[in-house]
């Protein structure tokens, strides 16, 4: 059976490693220049090389985004960076600009994927880009599964679709609102997500006495229930949005989509309710299938009073060491109080409750509370593995729960 790739976002090296550990077949990253999402941490040259070594050792691939639109002086500075990527062993670059495509082709042998920013939506567009050396199209989010399958069948080019995450309200991300409201170029890495703001409507210029709401904000994409369709259509890659999102988001989404894909391929019943519940733990704006099955309509707008649904869990930290029969050590990014319920995210989909009744600091001393950026020693659990993530739930008020104060 056809096996689509699970492609995960990685805004930094830790997120890259998290994605691979939880089952991503490939990750997409960016260097410090030439890509959108300039506010993300992104990768130094050394980190790109390390990320490639780590991913390749696990059988995963690394793609680097070069999806900004460049001027002549910037194009002249691109070839040295292409050398860095080739030396690191990057598996492909993701490009929007035809000038960048030509520069990559002339300068070396890096595989080229076309970014969704290029708005490729048809067989004719696919043939155009294929003739210019593009191996894969990250199709515009206006394209559905059935259309993507037809494009692949008609051309033989690989196709990639977004399967989960935030949706831009503009056509294939071609938006310039940030340019005019904040002086930041949306298509050169400066988007401030103006579509997520609350706006007022009025018939008179300058007045703000009309109805207000999140009129431009799209619901978030979720395609976890459509894995059979992706497989039947032989969609090559299922892309998760979110290079600026947390490691917990990366682990949760990758694990859910990998489990759904593997179950579908094995002919097993996918426990969708459990996967829906997991994806609901993250901050989101309701979910929609957008254009995957049918054309998106007005029901895909998320005009909610709060702008989003908050997360139900926070990332506590990750396992840094285990001593069988004795302890497991967790580096905490958020405070932990004795008795507080926490869960280990196992690779197989289980959320394993860990014992926090007795906390110890790194020196083995009893502690009622461990502050952020410290190591806590917990009773050993046989399912704990180094580098797995640990999370803790919030109560109904949005605060972290604690069994004892």
Give the residue range(s) of CATH 3.20.20.70 domains in the chain: 5-300
DSSP strand pairing (237-240 vs 5-9):
parallel
Instruction: Tell me the whole-structure pTM to 2 decimals.
Output: 0.92
pLDDT (mean) for 199-217:
78
Query: With 60 as the cut, is the pLDDT of residue 301 above it?
Result: yes
CA distance 310 to 172: 26
What per-residue confidence (pLDDT) applies to 380?
95
Which residues on neighbouring strands pair with residue 368, listed in sequence order? none
- φ, ψ of residue 355 to 5 degrees: the values are -80, 120
Lowest mean pLDDT among 34-48, 50-64, 291-305: 34-48
pLDDT (mean) for 221-235:
97
Q: Which helix (H) or strand (E) holds 87?
A: helix 72-88
Give the residue range(s) of CATH 2.40.30.10 domains in the chain: 313-393
What per-residue confidence (pLDDT) applies to 390?
98
Mean pLDDT of all residues belonging to the chain = 91
Query: With 90 as the cut, is the pLDDT of residue 99 above it?
Result: yes
**Residue 187 vs residue 375, higher pLDDT:** 375
What class, spelled out in words, does domain 5-300 have in CATH? alpha beta
Kindly tell me the sign of the dihedral angle through the C-alpha atoms of 383, 314, 54, 23. Answer: positive
Cα–Cα distances in angstroms (integers) from residue 143 to residues 46, 140, 289, 296, in the given order:
36, 6, 12, 10
What class, spelled out in words, does domain 313-393 have in CATH? mainly beta
Query: With 70 as the cut, is the pLDDT of residue 10 above it?
Result: yes
pLDDT (mean) for 205-216:
77
The token pair at 396 is 């109904």
Which residues on neighbouring strands pair with residue 336, listed in sequence order? 370
CA distance 220 to 129: 29
Query: How many helices (DSSP H) and strands (DSSP E) are in the chain?
Result: 10, 22
Query: With 90 as the cut, is the pLDDT of residue 91 above it?
Result: yes
The token pair at 251 is 């682990």
CA distance 359 to 339: 9
Say if residues 137 and 114 touch (Cβ distance below 8 Å): yes
Query: With 90 as the cut, is the pLDDT of residue 26 above it?
Result: yes
Say if residues 191 and 177 touch (Cβ distance below 8 Å): no
DSSP structure class, residue 114: E
Query: With 90 as the cut, is the pLDDT of residue 307 above it?
Result: no
What per-residue confidence (pLDDT) applies to 178?
82
CA distance 196 to 244: 16
């Amino acid at each position: 059976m056809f096996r689509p790739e699970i492609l995960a976002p990685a805004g930094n090296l830790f997120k890259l490693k998290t994605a691979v550990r939880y089952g991503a077949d490939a990750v997409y990253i960016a260097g410090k220049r030439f890509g959108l999402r300039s506010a993300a941490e992104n990768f130094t040259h050394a980190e790109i090389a390390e990320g490639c070594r780590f991913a390749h050792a696990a059988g995963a691939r690394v793609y680097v985004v070069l999806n900004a639109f460049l001027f002549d002086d910037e194009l002249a500075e691109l070839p040295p960076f292409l050398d860095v990527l080739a030396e690191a062993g990057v598996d492909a670059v993701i490009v929007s600009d035809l000038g960048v495509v030509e520069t990559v082709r002339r300068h070396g042998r890096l595989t080229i994927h076309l970014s969704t920013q290029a708005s490729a939506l048809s067989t004719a567009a696919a043939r155009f880009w294929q003739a210019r050396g593009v191996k894969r199209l990250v199709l515009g989010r206006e394209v559905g599964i059935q259309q993507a399958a037809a494009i692949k069948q008609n051309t033989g080019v690989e196709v990639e679709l977004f399967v989960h995450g935030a949706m831009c309200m503009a056509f294939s991300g071609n938006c310039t609102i940030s340019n005019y409201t904040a002086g930041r170029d949306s298509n050169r890495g400066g988007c401030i997500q103006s579509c997520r703001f609350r706006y007022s409507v009025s018939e008179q210029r300058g007045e703000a006495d009309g109805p207000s709401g999140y009129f431009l904000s799209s619901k978030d994409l979720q395609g976890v229930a459509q894995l059979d369709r992706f497989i039947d259509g032989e969609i090559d890659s299922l892309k998760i949005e979110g290079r600026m999102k947390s490691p917990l988001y990366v682990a949760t989404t990758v694990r859910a989509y990998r489990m759904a894909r593997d179950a579908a391929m094995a002919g097993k019943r996918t426990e969708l309710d459990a996967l829906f519940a997991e994806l609901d733990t993250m901050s989101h704006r309701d979910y929609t299938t957008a254009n995957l099955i049918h054309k998106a309509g007005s029901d895909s707008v998320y005009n909610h009073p709060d702008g989003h649904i908050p997360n139900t869990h926070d990332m506590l930290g990750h396992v840094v060491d285990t001593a069988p029969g004795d302890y497991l050590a967790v580096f905490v990014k958020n405070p932990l109080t004795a008795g507080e319920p926490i869960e280990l995210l196992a690779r197989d989909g289980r959320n394993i409750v860990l014992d926090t009744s007795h906390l110890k600091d790194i020196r083995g001393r009893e502690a009622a509370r461990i502050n952020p950026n410290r190591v806590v020693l917990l009773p050993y659990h046989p399912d704990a593995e180094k580098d797995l993530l640990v999370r803790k739930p919030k109560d109904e008020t949005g605060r972290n729960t604690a069994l004892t104060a």
